[in-house]
């Protein structure tokens, strides 16, 4: 069970659909912390999810987390390698989405730790 909470500031920024989406997927994440940013990078080709994550992380404080979802399979490799290099915490998982075709969505919780 996750003890990851959504910050009030982020709650106010999200639409009801986005908030419900995030809450429905947090049970798959087994980390503690405060989710302060959300980035929907589905349908963006590599390296855009990584570039957008870098920009979002610049404005975040140590200990804050970013929830990013992407559909490009290369994002998983790129984001994990980036986080390891930077010393950021990362939890990732995949979910299957059944539509016309089966797509994989890659979920990431990235926790900024610059004091490592």
**Which residue from 108, 86, 112 is spatially nearest to 42, judged by alpha carbons?**
108
Output DSSP code: residue 64: E
Tokens describing residue 56: 């979002």
- Rounded-to-integer distance, Cα 22 and Cα 20, Å: 5
Tokens describing residue 13: 């920024």
Active site residue 29: no
Active site residues: 46
């Amino acid at each position: 069970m996750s003890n990851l909470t959504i910050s009030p500031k982020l709650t106010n920024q999200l639409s009801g659909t986005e908030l419900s989406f995030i809450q429905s997927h947090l049970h798959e994440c087994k980390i503690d912390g405060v989710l302060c940013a959300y980035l929907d990078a589905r349908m963006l080709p590599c390296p855009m999810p990584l570039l957008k994550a870098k920009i979002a992380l610049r404005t975040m404080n140590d200990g804050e987390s970013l929830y990013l979802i992407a559909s490009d399979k290369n994002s998983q490799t790129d984001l994990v390698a980036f986080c390891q290099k930077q010393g950021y915490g990362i939890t990732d998982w995949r979910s299957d989405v059944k539509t016309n075709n089966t797509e994989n969505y890659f979920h990431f919780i990235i926790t900024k730790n610059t004091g490592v």
